[in-house]
Structure 1
Amino acid sequence: MAQDPYTTLGVARGASEADIKKAYRKLAKELHPDRNKDNKAAADRFGQVTSAYDVLSDKDKRGRFDRGEIDGEGNPAAPFGFGGGQQGGFRGAPGGFAGGAGGGDFGDIFEGLFGRGRAGGGGGFGRQAPAKGANLAYRLAVPFEDAARLDPQRVTLGDGKTVDLKLPAGVESGTQMRLAGKGEPGPGGAGDAIITIEIGDHRFYKRDGDNIRLDLPVSLKEAVLGGKVKVPTVDGPVMLAIPAGASSGKVLRLKGRGFGGKAGRGDQLVTLEIELPAGDDALKTWAEAAPESNPRARLGV
């Protein structure tokens, strides 16, 4: 019998989309095959969690499950124990009647299973539609800079074929993409490939929503006198104007150099970090002659 996706993810039936997504991310992180090598139980559980999220993250599927029209794996529900659907990708038990499914009456369920036509003016059931093949789950590691620019990614599927995948605006770790008909074959057609995106970290960039943050070292001379300095971005180096008298912690903005978001591309936020030269006697002499001041006065100390 297929599992209840709400139970699998540990959420209530009235859970919001955000709660469902949060629960899936937590479980997927704990159970991911990369963190549970040679652990079949974790792999099976990961497949069940992915399957459950596949149902509950799709408004149409969630509604059909809640009405009892499909089981927890997205297959047509089989009332009264009649034969179940195909087993899902990385999932355990074959499909069956979705225990705990709420809502719809059996007339609607039968209509969904067997179609509107009934033999002899409604005296018997029609033939059940053949089930599709299983969905297959994939993980795609995407470099930070590629994700920011939304560069297409080449994916190699289980059959050895490659697909160029176009990343969606606002992509982030945990984003799932569906390739229709790229799963396992079945009597009713092939299932789908479900691809989970994982964006890699970067050695000096940090993501902040659709913006990218960068701590930029500048010399004391550049901070005092100002000038233009070369700054790395995900699109390549650009020149950035440093205002004269800039302090450490000052944030400068490079528009349109962030992540490709749904509302347009974000910016790169550059935080200046002044590096003092070591062993500079002239700087030491200047500091000793400088008038006393308290830059912390605004903090009340």
Structure 2
Amino acid sequence: MTPPSTDSTARLGSGAPVFGAPCWVSLMARDLDAALDFYGEVMGWSFGPVKLGDEFRVALADGMPVAGISALASAFQVAVAWTPYFAVEDADVTASRIRERGATVAVGPVAVYTGRGALAADREGAVFGIWQGPLVSNWESWRDTAPAWTRLHTRDAFDAAIFYGEVLDWVSGRPGCCDVQYEHDEVVLRHGGQIVARLTSGAVEAAPDPNLRPHWHTHFAVDDPHAHAERARAQGGTVLAEGISSTGPWARISDPDGAAFTLNGKG
């Protein structure tokens, strides 16, 4: 768990409230040095320390915090994967809502430096985190530039939107909440008018391939996805698929430890 509370962490740029929105993504790896070597070469990221300890790093792109990387997969006995974190007002209340709706809280809530965090899995098994506390410095800029964003692949996006809406207070009408719309057979989550997540139907709960089961999938914006894909191959990663969509080029990659993510061309 590498929460969005880094050495460069402060408040929202405008001091505006935010809750229910994905506010950070974090990789739980087994070997921190190996993960830093791979993502440094593939993504061109630099890495800074955080006050959580030697097992945590924050990835920086042109000086902007993009994601967290930690070596806690083995300690928490979880799969190596990229995980989104959602901002909440009260981690304990949110954890109770998760349990009440038949889902699982696997870790926490626990106090982590300046806030409280937890790891959970929804009713279909998709893993996500919650975070109560300060967000990355100038979070609104992070949201608007979308260096990282997330998509839920699930069996039924409508049902998932109800679950997450009840847990995370989507469409509550209070300042800082997220809005939900249904567009082109998927659920689109917006905060401050910006798309911050998508929920898509079609995953199969019992699929033998973990990439086809319900899961939250992390996307990163880069200038040239195909060039980054070649770097990933050279560093021992696997290019699972690549192509060009209506929004531009993309590449889906698995790092050497099995964590999958997608690179999208900056539009």
Fold match by TM threshold 0.5: no
User: How does the TM-score come out when normalised to structure 1?
Assistant: 0.21
User: Could you say which structure has the higher helix fraction?
Assistant: 1
Q: Which has the higher contact order (CA 8 A, sep 6+)?
A: 2
Question: Which structure would you say has the larger Rg?
Answer: 1
User: Could you say which structure has the higher strand fraction?
Assistant: 2
